[in-house]
Amino acid sequence: MCIIVGSKNAWSFRRKVEVSGTRIFARQKDNGKQVLIYSMELASSVAAAMILPIPIVAGSNEDSVSFLNFKSYPNFFLEMKQGFLKESEEHFGIESARIKKPKLKVQDVGDYEASFVPSQSDWSRLDERFRLPADLWGQLPEYKDYGFAVFKLKPTPTRLGFLPRPKTIHPMAFEFSSRMPDAIFFPTVHVHDRKLHRTAGFDHHLYYQAADREESSKSPSVKQEGCDSFSHGPARSFLNTAMCQETIAPDLPVYCKRLHGDLLNQDTILSASG
């Protein structure tokens, strides 16, 4: 689920923020932690925040998420795209409480400020500009015991008389202890206007690696669950894995699933083993 919350009211936010070109990489590591790396094109004339609900292990605290700084590797997803077979690209089309609690930790992660909200009861500790209407959570009962990674986004440069100029923001990356050790979770539900809609327009490329199994590195296949395309070689052949801060398995291929067009507004969950 990707929730974009503007610092203005909902009406002005719809006029002044546009999101497109979403790219997400996910991997379930052997230590029970899942990696998420997220990037998109953003045009915004107001300060905004991206909120990603994540299926954390029950009882996780504020230190349960590790944010990673990918500012020095802004081309991560551009290089990722280079790793895919030409013939596959042609087929695939790649283009609460009254007790006052302390404020949540805010970490500088490249161009962002990032915070982890351990539970819905902790929203009061977040900057009030980026809180969501209480009735929205009533429509999303599946997130009642999720945690939330929050990235505060800066406005993008504006053009006189037009919406702000779209800007590809450098990847946002973090690891968390997942309650789904056998699955890869992609937060793909959209809430871009403080309202939940049954369907949404998608422009997503979901990249992932299957579990560290010998057979998955020897014979990648488009039959991999949910897979539309796969890389022409292991990740180390097209990514600078030394800059990936151990989020990538260098010797395994990368798979890709594309979500495009008007689709059911829901998260995407794939098998970690493929």
Q: What percent of the chain has pLDDT over 70?
A: 70
Q: Tell me, what amino acid is at 214?
A: E
> Of residues 73 and 140, which shows the higher confidence score?
73
Indicate the burial class of 214 (C-beta count within 10 angstroms; 0-12, 13-18, 19 or more): exposed
Contact between residue 56 and residue 116 where contact means Cβ atoms under 8 Å apart:
no
Residues whose CB falls within 8 Å of the CB of residue 70, separated by 6 or more in sequence, listed in order:
37, 76, 110, 170, 171, 172, 173, 245
Mean pLDDT for 198-217 is: 77
Q: What is the pLDDT of residue 117?
A: 84
Q: What percent of the chain has pLDDT over 90?
A: 35
Tokens of 224: 């991999």
3-7, 81-85, 202-206, 221-225, range with greatest mean pLDDT: 202-206
Please give the Cα distance from 214 to 42 (Å, whole number).
39
Contact between residue 114 and residue 150 where contact means Cβ atoms under 8 Å apart:
yes
Write down the mean pLDDT value for the chain: 78
Residues whose CB falls within 8 Å of the CB of residue 230, separated by 6 or more in sequence, listed in order:
84, 85, 88, 220, 221, 222, 224, 253, 254, 255, 256
pLDDT digits (tens, 9 = 90+) for 63-120: 789 999 999 999 999 999 999 865 444 444 444 344 455 665 555 566 777 888 888 8
pLDDT digits (tens, 9 = 90+) for 165-191: 677 778 999 999 999 989 999 999 887
Mean pLDDT for 139-161 is: 78
Domains of the chain: 2-271 (2.60.250)
Which ranges of the chain would DSSP assign to H, the alpha helix? 10-16, 76-82, 86-92, 134-138, 214-218
Contact between residue 25 and residue 139 where contact means Cβ atoms under 8 Å apart:
no
- Closest by CA to 171, choosing from 73, 84, 83, 242, is 73
> Of residues 115 and 240, which shows the higher confidence score?
240
- DSSP-assigned states of every residue in 1-20: -EEEEESS-HHHHHHHEEEE
Please give the Cα distance from 43 to 163 (Å, whole number).
7
Q: Which is it for the CA torsion 8, 10, 13, 15, positive or negative?
A: negative
Mean pLDDT for 20-34 is: 91
What is the SS3 assignment for 155?
coil
What is the SS3 assignment for 93?
coil
pTM of the model: 0.80
Q: What is the pLDDT of residue 34?
A: 95
Task: Please identify which residue in the block is written with the tokens 């690696």.
Answer: 209
